[in-house]
Amino acid sequence: MSIRVKSLFPWLASLLLCLSGQSATASDAWFETFKSSAGDADLYRFLYALPKGGDLHNHLTGSNFSEWWYDLATDQRLNGGYQYYTRVRINNCSGYGRDNFGPAPYLLYFRNLQGSSYAALSDCEKSEYKKIEALDAREKAAWLDSIRLDKKHEGREEFFQTHWQRLNDLGRNPHINAEMLVRNMQAFAREGVTYLETMEGTRFYKKPDGGDYDPDEVADIFRQRLAEPDALATGVTVRIQYYLLRFIGNAEADLEWIYHFVDRNRDLFVGINMVGREDNDKGYPLRFLSTLRKLRRDIPGIPLSIHAGEVDEPNQHVRDTLLLGATRIGHGVNLINDPDTMLLMRNSRYLVEINLISNLLLGYVDDFSQHPFPEYLRTDIPVALSTDDRGMWDSNMTDEYFVAMKEFNLSWEELTALARNSLQHSFVDRDTKAKLLQDYEQRLERFKKQFQRRGMAGLGDVVPRSHGFTCNHYKLCEFSTLVTAAN
Ligand SMILES: [Zn+2]
């Protein structure tokens, strides 16, 4: 790399150097000096202000903080005119033995219903529910907690078996989801994230009278909201991966429907993701191989990012998922136990979307020292950090970076490669990707120069906004908007 090229195109130079595996700068001593002297609060402020790339592994419904859900559930001007109710008591209305393991568990507090669902209940069951805006202070605090994973006794079962079942009708309102998209964009913009590739769908949405929305109508509600001035002002580019629940009975037919829908809506929908518990073997990866091969005969390629390796036991789900055609792997925790596939992924075009906080809170690692992230990062398997269901973890993207720095002592080169990887491996169109990468390199250069010149003062008036996770886990509560310190 000649000095001339470097001075003319600094971002291109650093990109090429990064791709060739060399250090992008002659010396990152300034960063090592900062690391060795910074306390947690300074490190957090630095990481909050640090330009980041994209969040590639983000479930829209799981991304929203409890307080946002409360705001939108109770504000009919924002939620499209829906009235919501939540269960605050159980009166054994239908006697004993009601199904508690289906999609509508009876013995579950804070299950949320929209007006039309509430109207269909018996009088006895109606007496179990309250309008959400009518909750008293104690009930409201418990309602907010009911969709947060912030207690030591909570974990995987609570998350998979109660959080989604509680949200219920709240997740079937396209106006709420469109509004949540913009709140996420605003929050991510504050912490330097410029690209969001969230997972969401367009089916199963309900109108206030209980009727079904047409999926195309839902996609248009998202498009219109994303075009409004407050959304554009964030500067965050948004695309959606359509999710497929992998273990349900008709998942192959679902995949076919989704594939055709994404093909018709490529301006907004850029990929497909298979989600759901991997320990439910009905969703094993190769189940979908023949369906995908059939679809690929007729339809131009659609990128796949698929959850794989988010399990406790060793298996070859990651390898099988690559065989399906995925170019990104969500989690990849048990890839560490599959040496052949690890070798295949070194210096490859396949990226592992790392979700450190999710893996800890859902018990896929007992503590961060067990996480394979540093092994992947330092053996040249492309990785990026992402937030998964951060609303339920009560965390943000900076928290993921903070964990990575605290637990794994990243160098400047490693730290910045994470953001760069997230943009390079995004499914957005080529021109937009080039712009995002160029913008990232320019912002990073500016940030670095300012910090080298002025230290912490170079961060200006950046005041981080964090939530419960770093407060609970690292006792760093200085920036927390909600000081719970539950653990
Ligand atoms: Zn996920």
Three-point CA angle 129, 134, 137, nearest 5°: 105
Beta strands in 62-181 (DSSP E): 84-87, 112-114, 129-131
The predicted pLDDT at position 96 comes to 66
Ligand 1 centroid, distance to 429 Cα (angstroms): 23
Ligand 1 centroid, distance to 354 Cα (angstroms): 10
* 3-state class percentages of the chain: helix first, strand second, coil last, to nearest 5: 50, 10, 35
Q: Range with the lowest mean pLDDT among 2-11, 135-144, 148-157?
A: 2-11
Alpha helices in 329-468 (DSSP H): 339-345, 356-361, 373-378, 390-393, 397-408, 412-424, 430-454
Half-sphere exposure of 25 toward its Cβ, with a 13 Å CA cutoff? 17
What is the pLDDT averaged over residues 65-89?
97
Residue predicted with more confidence, 27 or 214: 214
Residue 51: partners with Cβ closer than 8 Å, 6 or more residues away: 192, 194, 419, 440, 443, 444, 447
Q: Where are the domains positioned within the chain?
A: 48-64+192-444, 83-166
Ligand 1 centroid, distance to 447 Cα (angstroms): 31
The predicted pLDDT at position 486 comes to 41
Ligand 1 centroid, distance to 361 Cα (angstroms): 13
**Which pLDDT tens digit goes with each residue over 91-103?**
988 766 667 777 7
Ligand 1 centroid, distance to 274 Cα (angstroms): 9
What is the pLDDT averaged over residues 265-278?
94
Question: Above 90 in pLDDT, residue 153?
Answer: no
Question: Above 60 in pLDDT, residue 162?
Answer: yes
Question: Above 80 in pLDDT, residue 179?
Answer: yes
Ligand 1 centroid, distance to 448 Cα (angstroms): 32
Whole-model pTM?
Answer: 0.92
Tell me the C-alpha distance between 5 and 390, whole Å: 41
What is the pLDDT averaged over residues 402-406?
98
Ligand 1 centroid, distance to 116 Cα (angstroms): 31
The predicted pLDDT at position 11 comes to 47
Contact 48, 464 (CB under 8 A): yes
The predicted pLDDT at position 334 comes to 95
The predicted pLDDT at position 25 comes to 54
**Which pLDDT tens digit goes with each residue over 431-478?**
999 999 999 999 999 999 999 999 999 998 899 999 999 999 999 999
Ligand 1 centroid, distance to 222 Cα (angstroms): 21
Ligand 1 centroid, distance to 304 Cα (angstroms): 14
**Which pLDDT tens digit goes with each residue over 99-121?**
777 778 888 999 999 999 999 99
Reduce the DSSP state of residue 59 to 3 states and report it: strand
The predicted pLDDT at position 8 comes to 43
Ligand 1 centroid, distance to 63 Cα (angstroms): 10
Ligand 1 centroid, distance to 62 Cα (angstroms): 9
Q: Range with the lowest mean pLDDT among 90-104, 196-210, 405-419?
A: 90-104
Q: How confident is the model at residue 150 (pLDDT cuts 50, 70, 90)?
A: confident
Which two structure tokens, joined as six digits, stand for 345?
Answer: 């992924």
48-64+192-444 belongs to which CATH class?
alpha beta
The predicted pLDDT at position 65 comes to 96
Q: How confident is the model at residue 26 (pLDDT cuts 50, 70, 90)?
A: low
Residue predicted with more confidence, 184 or 156: 184
Ligand 1 centroid, distance to 59 Cα (angstroms): 6
**307: β partners:** 330
What is the pLDDT averaged over residues 65-71?
97
Residue predicted with more confidence, 155 or 33: 33
Residue predicted with more confidence, 157 or 291: 291
Ligand 1 centroid, distance to 228 Cα (angstroms): 28
Question: Above 90 in pLDDT, residue 405?
Answer: yes
Ligand 1 centroid, distance to 47 Cα (angstroms): 23
What is the pLDDT averaged over residues 266-292?
93
The predicted pLDDT at position 2 comes to 36
The predicted pLDDT at position 97 comes to 61
Run of H or E including 240 = strand 237-245
The predicted pLDDT at position 23 comes to 47
Tell me the C-alpha distance between 386 and 62, whole Å: 13
Beta strands in 193-236 (DSSP E): 195-200
The predicted pLDDT at position 3 comes to 35
Question: How high does pLDDT run on average in the chain?
Answer: 92
Q: How confident is the model at residue 170 (pLDDT cuts 50, 70, 90)?
A: very high
Question: Above 70 in pLDDT, residue 199?
Answer: yes
Tell me the C-alpha distance between 327 and 63, whole Å: 23
